[in-house]
Chains A and B, each alone.
Chain A
Amino acid sequence: MTMFGRVAFLVLRKDATIEIKSLEILSTTLFFAVSCVLVFAFAFVKEGSIVADASAGILWIAIAFAGTLALGRTFERERYAETVRALLLAPAPRAAIYVGKLLGIVLLLISAEVMLVPLVALLFSAPLFARPLLLAGLLVAGTVGFAAVGTLFAAMLVRSRTRDIMLPILLYPITVPVIIAGVRGTAALLSSPPDEAIAGMWIGLLLCFDVVFVTLALWTFEPLMTE
């Protein structure tokens, strides 16, 4: 394995080990996502049934909000243990550290989604599993795009005093395309019959977004993280 891959894997393994031991971020993120779903249910459920397409929106808003929380927490942990400096001082390519962190957050969010999607499907009787592969494609591509931007900004904000308020300010305007693509793609899958062409097109857009923003993040991580 190359140096780059090894560093990324080690960072990922470190984060995963801590998380599996405590389950702190996964459990809090999941709880928050479920609360989000419930709050939105009160707004969109009318006489026992849900407004058309709303379940797609609820799912993605829950992912985005809970994702922001998870992003903040993963770096908060580094800050408490004062390991940010250690990570940055390590004789390793900075971009590899970013990739490791990104993979950790993507895995975390996908584990949360695995539990969140059936819940949304059940609560709103949404046929989310009609095209499981396309839905999985949308979720993975969307999560990678969201986390690619989020990981970079959260890492930059570690040293900032106002990080709690700054992360959403930075993150949401930039990730609007992800939300639109995710919601519209999921809504296309929920229509009867599921519109595969439109869902596929949104996955394509998400993949382009992922490629551009992961490249940008790798490119800017080094100059952004120097003190």
Chain B
Amino acid sequence: MRRAFVPLLAIATAMFMYAPILIANAPYESTMGLVQKIFYFHVPSWFAMFTAVFVCGVESAIFLFRKKPSADRIAAAAGEVAVLFGLMGLVTGPLWGRKSWGVWWPWDARVTIALLVELTFVGYLLVRKFGGPGADKLAAAMAIFGMFNVPFLYVSVDIWRTIHPKTTVVPTLPGGMPGPFWFSVAAFLLLCALLMTARAHLEHQRAALDALYLEEE
């Protein structure tokens, strides 16, 4: 990944520059109007968040069971990236909701799940920062439990919502929309991978620097 970083960054930049053109040319959705375009970066940021959550959980498990410090650093990077993309989804979600349902926060199942997963990983970052000695293990447990909690959150929130009157608009993709959509997904996943790599690299460098200081003393 290290050697491919700069070319991939160039590709990602090109993709993000081309994406607005593609999105602007995508079919205009008549009921939602312009707001429908949020879809092209709202859903991909959601995909990117779950990729980061998965990476964070798996790397935390590797750290805990194999005692590989490098896995912990990747997990820390993935945790931050997950919160970042989650925040993006949480900002764009209510924008969509305001137009579509008339309220900023409709307690729609997916929005609620996003908030809860986001909360879990904000907690993860808080533990990392303020947990004191041994916080890395605590955070690793939080990440593993958080990852396994996602299906339960999904099922429980989904049922909780569907028992009550439902106001969800299921986004079915008419012709001309899947192209730009999947292009955006690819761009976001690439950005997610790049951010995680860069952030993990920073952690690795920090650890190396600490090791050097220790050696000097």
Interface residues of A in 181-227 (CB under 8 A from B): 181, 184, 198, 201-202, 205, 208-209, 212-213, 216, 220, 223-224
B-chain residues with CB within 8 Å of residue A220 when the two chains form the complex: 64, 141, 144
Secondary structure call for the A interface? helix
Question: Which residues of the partner chain B approach A170 to less than 8 Å between Cβ atoms?
Answer: 123, 127, 138, 141-142
- Tell me if A176 is interfacial: C-beta within 8 Å of chain B: yes
B213 on the interface (CB 8 Å rule)?
no
- Name the B residues within 8 Å of A198 (CB-CB): 163
Instruction: Contact check, B141 vs A156: say whether CB atoms are below 8 A apart.
Output: yes
Nearest A residue to B152 via CB reads A177
Which residues of chain B have C-beta atoms less than 8 A from A177's C-beta?
149, 152-153, 155-156
Residue on A nearest B64 in the bound complex, by CB: A223
A173 at the interface (CB under 8 A from B): yes
Asked whether B116 is an interface residue with its Cβ less than 8 Å from the other chain, the reply is: yes
Question: Contacts A162-B130, A205-B155; is A212 near B137 (CB within 8 Å)?
Answer: no
Q: Are B138 and A212 in contact (CB under 8 A)?
A: no
The distance in angstroms between the C-alpha atoms of A159 and B134, with both chains bound, is: 8
Tell me which of B64, B67, B142, B157 has the highest count of chain A C-beta atoms within 10 A of its own C-beta: B142
Name B residues whose Cβ lies closer than 8 Å to a Cβ of A.
64-65, 67, 116, 119-120, 123, 126-127, 130-135, 137-138, 141-142, 144-146, 148-149, 152-153, 155-157, 159-160, 163
13 more A-B contacts (CB under 8 A) besides A160-B131, A177-B153?
A160-B133, A160-B134, A173-B116, A173-B120, A173-B146, A173-B149, A176-B149, A177-B149, A177-B156, A198-B163, A205-B152, A205-B156, A209-B152
